[in-house]
Structures are given as structure tokens and as C-alpha cells.
Structure 1
Amino acid sequence: MTRIAARFAKLKQEGRGALMPFVEAYDPDPATSMAILRGLPGAGADLIELGVPFTDPAADGPTVQQAGQRALRAGGSLAGAVAMVRDFRRDDDETPIVLMGYLNPILAYGPARFCQDARMSGVDGLIVVDMPPEEADEIAPHAAGLDLVRLIAPTTDEARLPLVLRGAGGFLYYVAIAGITGTRSADAADLAAAIPKVRAQTDLPIAIGFGIKTPDQAAQATRIADGAVVGSALIERLAATLDENGRATATTVRTVLDDVRALAEGVRNARVPA
């Protein structure tokens, strides 16, 4: 059983959903980013989504774009993100980590070499935002041992869903809004109508991302689905702690982890009977 499958199975047995924070590798610098990554499990993260800095992140709103720019200035790269996971695994061999990024850096790295390095470093899954199912052969033949997490959008109709699900692994990432990250909140009624249609065609857990910002919204998402992904809200809080030169301050790591603790409390109490 993979780490992702084991974690979702454990959470199901406990009767609760998963909190999956998103952080950008190397934002705002390697040491601060690594300190946040190492602190996430203790703060309540059940799984971690680690963003790979990229110059043209088409699915990301201004908040994550700016995080990516800070990370690139700090030397961030696909190889750097993989190395962060390898360092993380020295102390934590249980928390699942999913790399989220774009296809171009993987192609430049070399898909076969990348998948091997990611697997050997302890990466559990990949979200390749701009790789449609029709292009999955770019990576899938090399990805044994890595879960290819597929994105499902509000515009994914029931006719297309089987194609999206083919070859999917780990969990499904339901994109709650039609748009870029961090721009507006998800609508609970829309999610409540959409998620059962996805469940009818798969046994994979479903995590909701895009537009999940507060502990209440994260709790709501885990009542509807199996997990909540929170990214832009955490990165906004991180950015607010930086000095005028964009450097980390003494409060940066603590602020992010405190926010994760609040989100985790919301998720853990989401299914507690009133």
C-alpha cells in the first residue's frame, strides 16, 4: 500500500477527512521553506502538496505566482523540490508528499530520470497541472511507484470523466472553481452537487482544492469530500510576514504553521456530531 493510500485508509477508519496544505518549494528561501515543510505534519497536515517553482504557472493566481517568483529568485527548481523531499524523508517516512507543477520542467529534466529521482527521494505522487489525460504518455510509462493525481474541473462532464480517471492514482483533485487559484471561494452547494457524480465512477478519495481558505471552508470540504487542499491563504499569510526586501522574518515559519493548526482543528472537528 502506498503512503497516500495508507493515509486515506487511516483517516477513513478514524472517521475524518484530510488536510493537505500547499506550500511552494524555496519560498521565500531554501532554509525557511524547509523549516515549514518539516513543521507541517506536527501542525496537523495529513498530506503535503509541494509546489514546484515555474516561470509560467498558468493555473495559479497572483498569490502563488508571486511565491513562485520569490522561489525562483532563491534558486528554486524541480531538482531543488525533489531534494527537499529527500531531506524531509530523513525524519519523516510516513507523511505523503505530492509534487505539484507543470510539464515543461519535467520534459527539460527528462521524464524517465525525473520519475526515478522523485521516487528514490520519497515523492509519493505527481500533479502535472497542464498535462491532459491525452498527453499522459509523456510521464505515465516512467511513473511506476508514483501516483498520478488527476485534476477534475467543474467543466469535466460525465462523458469525459472516464478518460480523466483512466490511470489516476492516489486521490482525485477536484478543482472547486472554474478559474485560477486564490481568486474566489468555492460554493458549497455546487460542490455538494458535483462530488457525488465523481464518486459514482471511482473508489479513489477526492480532495477539494482552489477556493478553500478558512478553517470553516476546509471543514465543509471534508464533510462533502475526503480532503481539503489549502494553498493561497497560507501563502498570503507567509507573504505578510516578509520584510520590505521579501526576506523571511522571525515570525514567518510560526505564522504559517499556526494557520495550519487552525485549519487542522477545523478539519478534525468537521464530522463531530453536534
Structure 2
Amino acid sequence: MPTRSGFDAYDQYRLANGTPRYPQRPVLAGAAISQAVSGGGTHSGAITGKVIAVSSLLDADAFPWHADWYGRQVRSALGAGFEDTFRLWFTDHADHIAPGRTPRLIDYTGIVEQALRDVAAWAEHGRAPAPSTRYTVAGGQVEVAAAAAQRRGLQPKDDVTVDDRQSFTTTVGQPLRLDAEIAVPPGAGSVVDIAWNATGLGPFEPVQFTDSSRVSHTVTYSAPGTYYPAVRVSVQREADRRTPFARIETLGRMRIVVHP
């Protein structure tokens, strides 16, 4: 159990007096691993240059609340200089490894590439990047704001529905219209790619679009089962559809139950 303050996610494993609820090993492995992968860093938060931290909300190895914890270390160390020095962007539908190992995950490489460009512009030219993602933490779970404009950061938001519902029941052979509402936070750029996946498995199929805020797709399921159709949206700061770089992705998914 960490002895350093601020590790609120571990409170569930402590007694009322703050002592560990369960037997402890003599070696604090987490601290040793953190120091090893950071070149001996103490994670004091006393940074001396511009920093943009990017954290994946579905990361199974580096939990998103770790990024919140470090952000609080920076705020405590820098005080009034925090907002002019540090940003924290959360990326939804992304894990520890990119590209995604499953259609349920995005490739978060693009937001890291944009963060590198933005932190360089911040340090070299004084151009402040997009604000940090707005979020809350409860019980070690990070929850970002629902709407893109309120969430901030750079990742777009898309919601997939059938008849304005994110869970829908139908029958085999019945055509369904899937609607996707897309919102892009300020400063993120423009939508350059939209692709559908009707089952939640296998490859995505790119589609042509004229209205980047709302797209529709009609599907018909030929076999009973539970499906998770998804739409993948990519934005790019310069609206460059030709480049593979600095594309920031997101996913919108819903649940469809098909009966015979």
C-alpha cells in the first residue's frame, strides 16, 4: 500500500484509522516500477518546462487516475503557475497499446502526435494548447464530461443511436437506421474520416459525408444475436484528409439485440 499521500483509490483497502486492511509485502513494488520506467523520477510535480500529459481511459496498465494523481502533484508544486505550464488530456476508448488490439479500441497515436506539436508551439512560441480535459474522480474511476464542449481537451465525441436510443431490440431482417451525432471540441480541427462497423467485429468501412456533425447508416441483421455497432470518427487540426499523422480518433457504440 502506498504510504505517500494522494493515492485515494487505495482508500478502499484501508481501515478507518488509515492502516492497511490486509497483510502487506515488505517491498512497495509500485514505487520501484515507477522509478525504473521514469529514469529514477520522484514524481514530485516540480516540472520546469511545459508539459502535456496524455492518458487513456481504458488503460489496463497505467490507470487513468494515475494521471489525475500526477496532475495534483504538479498543481501542488507550481501553485499559480500550474495553468501556464501543465495540461492533462484524457483519451476515451484507448488502452495502453496502440494501435487498438480490437475494434473496441482506437489508435491513440494521433493525439500524442498532436500533443508533441502543441507542446513545442507552447514552449517555443507561447501558443497555449487546448485546455485540460474536464473530469471527476470517484473511487478511482475517472469520468469525463459528457459533451465535447464541456469535456474540452482534443478528442471528439460521437453518439450512436436508433430512434434516439443507445439500446435497441429488433428482429432478423428488419432494416435499422443508425444515427451518429458528432461534436468536436474547440481547437481540435475538423472531421476528416468517418467509418462504420455494423457488428462491432472486424474492419470498419469508410463512408462519404457532407455533414460532419450527423451521419446515418442503414443495417439489416440476418442472424439473431447481440451486436455492438460502432462509428469511428477522426479529426485533424489542419483538416488534411491525406495525412495519416495527428489524426485524433474516437468511437461511438450502441447495443442492438436481434431476435428471430
Instruction: State the TM-score, normalized to the length of structure 1.
Output: 0.23
Structure ranking higher in strand proportion: 2
State which structure, 1 or 2, has the greater radius of gyration over its C-alpha atoms.
Answer: 2
Q: Highest relative contact order (Cα 8 Å, sep 6+), 1 or 2?
A: 1
Instruction: State the TM-score, normalized to the length of structure 2.
Output: 0.24
